[in-house]
């Protein structure tokens, strides 16, 4: 593009406009700063000197002088709550609520913030009371979500289920997945008291709320298995393939034992071999390895692991292969194989973990409810290495 002479006139014009805009912004900022009460700057100074109590008092004075600074009050209250200084957050929000000149929207906002303060402080009864008061306000959806968190902390599963129903009505989005887990918790409590019929009712409710609830299906199968209704247990556990086949390894051992108790262990092994071909899994392979080792011997077990390792190469599979080789290797080579296996096994200890997809917490056992972040069904039923996760 050729240079035009008229461009020489445009550049100074743009520069002048930018300078003028900057001057206007500076004047506006100086005007707004001069309009702020002295208490505002005192509060900032107290904060810089880490004198939070005096800062709070100063900012309270700012709010009294200039109602437009109420948002600053809210921001500070939230800041203190996030820092764990909930007592200060409570003081600030209580002070706002007690003001007679506060409009209704701001009062509802203050109630919402105060309820969160109480929740963080562990004063659950006060938090519940305030969240319930907000049901007919614009904060209803958020308040219900906090109530759901609160009732889970208290393990009040009936109230938690009621909240999921209200959230579904209010938001139009299903909360059946959470409700199913709460029904499962109720069923688990009934089972500890040996109230089998009551547990069945809750598990049926769980499946009604969420037909894909693998946990409810597993628990129903467990009930049938304990009653020695092995055929029923097998039929129920097999439904997991249609719900979510990734969870089949969690019931592989139970399925095989039920077949064994029913006198059909060969059919059980054949079924698990079919699952392993369709849904490769280290846990499935481990169950099959032990079963074939017991039935057919070390060589057959070794072939199973070798073939699976060729299909799906993993360090965990290699560890199992070396275990199989140790069972049949000659005495003079056993020490060498054992040494290699021990080295591989040390490495695989960090790979044979279940990992929460929400917070990353790792555990050797599978959890439906993460002990770290308290998320439901956030653990993959597959080991870390199978999911390609770096440990």
What does the pLDDT look like over 93-110, one tens digit per residue?
A: 888 888 777 889 989 999
Query: Of all residues in the chain, what percent are helix, strand and coil, respectively (each to 5)?
Result: 75, 0, 25
CB atoms within 10 A of CB 74: 18
Q: What is the DSSP letter of 384?
A: T
Residue 140 has pLDDT above 70, yes or no: yes
Is 184 annotated as ligand-binding?
no
Task: Please classify residue 315 by burial: count the beta carbons closer than 10 Å to its beta carbon, then call 0-12 exposed, 13-18 middle and 19+ buried.
Answer: middle
Given a cut of 90, whether residue 83 has pLDDT beyond it is no
* Residue 267 confidence (pLDDT) above 90: yes
pLDDT in tens, 182-205: 999 999 999 999 999 999 999 999
Residue 28 pLDDT level (bands cut at 50, 70, 90): very low
Please tell me the least confidently modeled range out of 48-52, 121-125, 267-271. 48-52
Q: Percentage of residues in the chain with pLDDT exceeding 70?
A: 71
Higher pLDDT pick, 112 / 97: 112
C-alpha angle 19-20-22 in degrees, rounded to nearest 5: 65
Q: Are 108 and 134 in contact (CB under 8 A)?
A: yes
> Higher pLDDT residue, 373 or 10?
373
Whether residue 117 has pLDDT greater than 60: yes
What's the pLDDT at 9? Answer: 46
Q: For position 257, what pLDDT does the model report?
A: 96
pTM value is 0.76
Cβ proximity of 255 and 272 under 8 Å: yes
Known binding residue 359? Answer is: yes
Cα gap 371→176, rounded to integer Å? 22
CA dihedral 319, 324, 327, 332 (to 10 degrees): -60
Residue 99 has what DSSP assignment?
-
User: CA-based diameter of the chain, in Å?
Assistant: 98
DSSP state of 174: -
User: Which of 16 and 303 is assigned the larger pLDDT?
Assistant: 303
């Amino acid at each position: 593009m050729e240079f035009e002479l008229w461009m020489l006139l445009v550049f100074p014009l743009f520069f002048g406009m930018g300078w003028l805009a900057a001057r206007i912004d500076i004047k506006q900022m100086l005007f707004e700063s001069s309009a702020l009460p002295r208490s505002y700057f005192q509060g900032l100074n107290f904060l810089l000197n880490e004198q939070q109590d005096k800062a709070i008092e100063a900012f309270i004075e700012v709010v009294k002088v200039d109602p437009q600074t109420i948002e600053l009050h809210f921001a500070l209250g939230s800041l203190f709550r996030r820092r764990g200084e909930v007592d200060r957050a409570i003081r600030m929000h209580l002070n706002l609520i007690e003001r007679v000149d506060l409009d209704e929207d701001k009062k509802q906002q203050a109630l919402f913030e105060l309820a969160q303060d109480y929740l963080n402080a562990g004063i659950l009864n006060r938090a519940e009371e305030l969240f319930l008061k907000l049901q007919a306000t614009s904060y209803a959806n958020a308040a219900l979500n906090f109530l759901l968190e609160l009732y889970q902390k208290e393990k009040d599963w009936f109230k938690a289920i009621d909240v999921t129903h209200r959230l579904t009505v209010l938001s139009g989005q299903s909360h059946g997945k959470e409700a199913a887990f709460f029904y499962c918790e109720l069923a688990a409590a009934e089972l500890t008291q040996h109230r089998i019929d009551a547990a069945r009712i809750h598990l049926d409710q769980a499946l009604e709320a969420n037909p894909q609830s693998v946990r409810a299906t597993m628990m129903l199968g467990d009930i049938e298995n304990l009653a020695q209704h092995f055929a029923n247990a097998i039929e129920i556990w097999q439904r997991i393939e249609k719900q979510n086949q990734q969870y089949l390894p969690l019931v592989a051992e139970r399925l095989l034992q039920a077949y064994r108790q029913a006198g059909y262990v060969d059919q059980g092994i054949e079924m698990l071999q079919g699952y392993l071909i369709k849904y490769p899994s280290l846990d499935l392979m481990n169950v099959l390895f032990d079963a074939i080792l017991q039935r057919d011997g070390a060589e057959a077990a070794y072939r199973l692991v070798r073939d699976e390792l060729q299909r799906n190469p993993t360090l965990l599979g290699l560890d199992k292969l070396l275990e199989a080789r140790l069972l049949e290797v000659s005495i003079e080579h056993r020490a060498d194989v054992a040494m290699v296996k021990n080295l591989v096994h040390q490495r695989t200890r960090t790979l044979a973990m279940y990992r929460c997809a929400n917070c990353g917490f790792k555990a050797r056992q599978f959890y439906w409810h993460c002990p770290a972040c308290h998320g439901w069904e956030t653990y993959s039923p597959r080991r870390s290495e199978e999911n390609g996760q770096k440990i």
